[in-house]
Amino acid sequence: MLFLGGCGTISLSQLGEPEMRSSVRFMPWLLALTGLAILLVAGGFVVWPLIALWLAVLALIWSLGRAGLFRGRATHIAVAVALLPVLFLLGMEGGLWLIPADIAWLLIEVTDRSGASGAPRGSDAAV
């Protein structure tokens, strides 16, 4: 096991390559929900319609990802990079609070080696 400065642990696969734990993949979602919770409390609960809208958008993204519409590492990286300017533009509507989650998602996708070989995540077939 390798410990990477608070990012969680990464285990070595049978071939000696680092393999990311599935719990690390929840980090962007936790950051997004934490950012929205901070915005909700800091805004005095007046911004709850914006929070509800952002939660609906996050639920849509999650359901599309679960359905398999965004497959492949290159697609995930492209979506994460394209989402950054959109979040900057929607900064006054709460987008700035979601930028850390997007950056975490981008870093996870860039450093994940299991998707680079085309093998499904979590399988032992990663080369």
Per-residue pLDDT of the chain (127 residues; tens, 9 = 90+): 444 444 555 555 555 555 667 788 899 999 999 999 999 999 999 999 999 999 999 999 889 888 988 888 899 999 999 999 999 999 999 999 999 999 999 999 999 877 655 445 554 443 3
The CA-CA-CA angle for residues 34, 39, 45, to 5°, reads 120
- 89 HSE (CA, 13 A, CB side): 5
Report the predicted TM-score, pTM, of the whole model to 2 decimal places. Answer: 0.74
Please name the amino acid found at residue 123: S
CA atoms of 77 and 57, how far apart (whole Å): 19
**What does residue 36 show for φ and ψ, rounded to 5 degrees?**
-70, -35
